[in-house]
Amino acid sequence: MKKTLAAGLVGLSLSFGLMAAAPAMAQAAAALSTDSTPIETLVANPAAKAVLEKNIPGISTHEAYDQFKAMTLTQVAPMSQGAVTDEIIKKVQADLDALPK
């Protein structure tokens, strides 16, 4: 009985671990987007970070990075004092779409 209960608890904890990891794996598989992907997620991906730095040089080292890293580029644009324009967002999105899947 103890062995069965222990095995069941191990299986249950493994199942919860897999369920907790599922959203992270789903987001990793999701397309990168200027509308829905946080900047910090883009920066964590070397190819996406290169796209950001190409189009918005210094974004990942900006002094206010910690304040806007959880936001998307679309959310940051109105507060960027013209540093992130609709044109830049379109270029970033096109470059993100062109990255290998």
Q: List pLDDT tens digits, range 22-57.
A: 554 444 456 999 999 999 999 999 999 999 999 999
Q: In whole angstroms, what separates CA 6 from the centre of its chain? A: 37
What pLDDT score does 27 carry?
47
What number is the average pLDDT over the span 69-98?
A: 97
Both tokens of 94, joined, read 């096109």
pTM over 0.85: no
What number is the average pLDDT over the span 65-83?
A: 96
Exposure string (b/e) for 5-37, b if CB count within 10 Å is 16 or more? eeeeeeeeeeeeeeeeeeeeeeeeeeebbbeeb
What pLDDT score does 101 carry?
84
47, 88: one domain: yes
What pLDDT score does 4 carry?
52
Could you give the CA distance from residue 76 to residue 27 in angstroms, rounded to a whole number?
21
18, 59: one domain: no
54, 93: one domain: yes
Report the mean per-residue pLDDT for the chain.
Answer: 83
Q: How many domains does the chain have?
A: 2
Domain coverage including residue 14: 1-30
Name 41's Cβ contacts closer than 8 Å, sequence gap at least 6. 27, 32, 48
Q: Which of these, 81, 94, 82, 27, lies nearest to 54 by C-alpha position?
A: 94
52, 10: one domain: no
23, 62: one domain: no
